[in-house]
Amino acid sequence: MKVTMQQNKWTIMCRCLLLVLLVMPLLSFTVVIDAGHGGHDAGAIGKMGVQEKNLNLSVAKQLGAKIRENYPNVKVVLTRETDVFLPLQERADIANKNHADLFISIHTNAAENRNAQGAETFILGTERMEDNLDVAMRENAVMKLEEDQTVYQGFDPNSIESYILFELMQNQYMDNSLVFAELVQNQFVGTLKRANRGVRQAAFWVLLKSACPSVLVEMGFLSNAEEEKWLASAEGKNGIVNGIFDAFEKYYKQ
Ligand SMILES: [Zn+2]
């Protein structure tokens, strides 16, 4: 009788342990932070000489550290932690291999019009695609710098026709991407008082290929002298890190 009771106790304990092991991966949350550009791809360059790749990396690393510090249960993965070149497809692959729950791609804008300023947060989509084609083309153009272009299956980042491909793609992560994008944009506009360029849709390869809610943040314009100064300042960078962190916190707790 005693043996049976002890056996029962062991069986229950084993079952509990098994249940915990089964449920644990479901409870863990993985965020992938992607610092755009890197290595021989500098991205946008400001008049003061600020390079997009460095700014993106600095914000991505600070954001990652802040999330790790405040949410030790959240797995934070950075697509790059140094100044290295990384193909677009590889960035999405990192998100998918890590079963990301959220993908945040960090970028900085540039435009011919030197007065253009403000922040915009993108989700994947084709609504009013023509309006945002220039940004998508610029950010996708990095493919041309990559050695192996076969992964893009003939997609030409500079050809408008190529973007028809995006119209055929259904994105099941649209709703959650939009929720997070709005939280991020609210921070830029509300807390940081940046000019509001809104939440927009565009055809970015990294967003198309990452199988989770994903956004691409354009933090501001390096082509605007004043904004370049702000982006490069500790105040600007810390503000952006805190802003995206607050958005993450709200999204994670929802
Ligand atoms: Zn960029």
**Does some domain include residue 13?**
no
**Does some domain include residue 181?**
yes
**Does some domain include residue 6?**
no
CATH of the domain at 238: 3.40.630.40
Number of domains the chain is built from: 1
**Does some domain include residue 154?**
yes
Q: How far is the CA of 140 from the centre of ligand 1 (A)?
A: 9
The pLDDT, as a whole number, for residue 13 is 73
**Does some domain include residue 1?**
no
The pLDDT, as a whole number, for residue 1 is 55
**Does some domain include residue 148?**
yes
Q: How far is the CA of 168 from the centre of ligand 1 (A)?
A: 24
Question: Quick one: which of 175, 197, 178 has its CA closest to 247?
Answer: 178
Q: How far is the CA of 190 from the centre of ligand 1 (A)?
A: 23
Q: How far is the CA of 216 from the centre of ligand 1 (A)?
A: 9
Compute φ and ψ for 202, nearest 5 degrees: -155, 170
The pLDDT, as a whole number, for residue 111 is 94
**Does some domain include residue 20?**
no
Give per-residue pLDDT as tens, 140-191: 988 888 888 888 878 888 888 787 767 666 567 989 999 999 999 999 999 9
Within the chain, residue ranges assigned H as helices are: 2-27, 52-70, 88-97, 133-140, 164-167, 174-186, 205-209, 225-232, 234-253
Q: How far is the CA of 240 from the centre of ligand 1 (A)?
A: 16
Q: How far is the CA of 215 from the centre of ligand 1 (A)?
A: 13
What's the pTM value of the predicted model, to 2 decimals? 0.86
What the block records as the tokens of 150 is: 């076969």
Question: Quick one: which of 243, 241, 219, 242 has its CA closest to 231?
Answer: 219
Q: How far is the CA of 243 from the centre of ligand 1 (A)?
A: 19
**Does some domain include residue 185?**
yes
The pLDDT, as a whole number, for residue 149 is 80
- Structural domain boundaries enclosing 186: 28-253
The pLDDT, as a whole number, for residue 160 is 80
The pLDDT, as a whole number, for residue 48 is 94
Q: How far is the CA of 8 from the centre of ligand 1 (A)?
A: 60
CA pair distance 191, 239, nearest whole angstrom: 8
Q: How far is the CA of 110 from the centre of ligand 1 (A)?
A: 9
The parts of the chain modelled with pLDDT lower than 70 are 1-6, 14, 16-17, 19-27, 128-129, 165, 167-171
The pLDDT, as a whole number, for residue 133 is 84
Q: How far is the CA of 44 from the centre of ligand 1 (A)?
A: 7
Sorted by sequence, the CB contacts under 8 Å of residue 70 that are 6+ apart come out as: 245, 249
Q: How far is the CA of 160 from the centre of ligand 1 (A)?
A: 19
Question: Quick one: which of 83, 81, 90 has its CA closest to 54?
Answer: 83
